[in-house]
Homo-oligomer: A and B are copies of this chain.
Amino acid sequence: MKFGGTSVADIGRIRNVAQHVKREVDAGNEVAVVVSAMSGKTNELVGWAREMAPLHDAREYDTIVATGEQVTVGLLSIELQRIGIQARSWLGWQIPIRTDGAHAAARIQEIDGSELIRRFGEGQVAVIAGFQGLAPDNRITTLGRGGSDTSAVAIAAAVHADRCDIYTDVDGVYTTDPRIVAKARKIDKISYEEMLEMASLGAKVLQTRSVELAMVHRVRLQVRSSFEAPDASLNDDGSKNYFPGTLVCDEEEIVEQQVVSGIAYSKDEAKITLVKVEDKPGVAARIFGPLADNSINVDMIVQNVSDDGQSTDMTFTVPQAELARAEDIIQKVRQDISAREVRTDTNVVKVSIIGIGMRSHAGVAKTMFKTLADKGINIQAITTSEIKVSVLISSEYTELAVRALHTAYGLDAE
């Protein structure tokens, strides 16, 4: 069970979390519960470190920031004991959760779950500080923002858990953003691959890294709400096929597979167009080489042959946060590739359809293009993978496009 910052924001909410844990224990389950810092605490701690010095030692930053989760595990353990449940807190260095030495953005390398498993056998609940680990030099690391999900999945793998329940402030994963599509439906089951695309394409329910990790270790992830009544039935016995949230699992476990499972969109895109670039070998390398060298991720790329046949327009997208740096780099190589002009546009959105069913169904992309064309929406770039198709369109069409596609692929709730 994993609970984020808003679920443990104060004493009252920590008591609520304890009731969720109690329900699972009462049902005969062995439980490890991973918690974040009380909402706002991490920001306060980060704020102090920044005020002390804007550029600071990441090892000291980690030492400071890791205290947020340390407080929560202690408080939750006290509350569990108060309501009669054996529990003890575990810090990253106590288990230990071994990570690499990349402070403030560490990656988990190894967790020995044997001591936790031994204590499950004695009826003890493990209350584990998320977001933190132990570096090879015996100092505290943090996993970077949102890392508690990753902690939970890694712990679930280490103790061979049947399921990893991620409690959030939403009750599951939806076919698309319910804030813009009223007919969005909660998805009962979704495959790791699809969830990974949804997460990386803008659905904020789960961190991409935690889904990747779950996929690698085949940890069944359940997204559910921490605000539901803690005593709600949780039977997951097949006969009832009842899931309170969304189960992220192996595709084999999903019986009725949709062709398209969800529609995602991301406004975090910026478009760069190089006008009238020389059309000769090596141009692309001279453009994208320097961007890669500076760790700027280029996503979509389109090359148009111009009328004169000697020059071409080159369009590509980068994350909006990287636009200024990318533009700087491109301006430096502009002369070299004889580009007439560099144009940028942040008024774009990437809309994607995602579904494992695409692998075996032809014509899925065609439906997308036709749906958008029917609404008069111009496609500026396209990128595809085995299980998704993404298009770049003008951002003013976001809602229109997402709603139309949601209907076109039969995802609307009745």
Residues of A whose CB lies within 8 Å of any CB of B are 11, 14, 45, 48-49, 51-53, 56-57, 59-61, 63-64, 66-67, 70-71, 73-75, 77-79, 81-82, 88-89, 91, 93-94, 138-140
Contact = CB atoms under 8 A, between A and B. Distances in A.
10 closest residue pairs by CB, A with B = A64-B74, A67-B67, A53-B82, A63-B74, A56-B78, A60-B74, A52-B78, A60-B77, A67-B70, A60-B78
Contacts of A138: 94
A11 B51 contact: yes
Nearest to A62: B74
Nearest to A54: B82
Chain A contact residues: helix, strand, loop or mixed = helix
A23 B337 CA distance: 57
Given A63-B89, A64-B71, 15 more contacts: A11-B51, A11-B52, A48-B75, A53-B78, A53-B79, A56-B78, A56-B81, A57-B77, A59-B88, A60-B75, A63-B73, A63-B91, A64-B74, A64-B75, A67-B67
A49 B74 contact: yes
Contacts of A139: 94
A60 B48 contact: no
11 contacts: A14-B52, A48-B71, A49-B75, A52-B75, A53-B81, A57-B81, A60-B77, A61-B78, A63-B74, A63-B91, A91-B140
Contact of A74 (B11, B61, B74, B77): B61
A138 B88 CA distance: 13
Nearest to A56: B78
A71 B67 contact: yes
A134 B14 CA distance: 27
A119 to B, nearest CB: 13
A103 to B, nearest CB: 12
A81 B89 CA distance: 33
A51 B74 CA distance: 13
Nearest to A69: B67
Contacts of A140: 91
B71 A70 contact: no
Contact of A52 (B51, B56, B63, B82): B82
Nearest to A83: B53
B70 A64 contact: yes
Contacts of A67: 67, 70-71
A48 B79 CA distance: 11
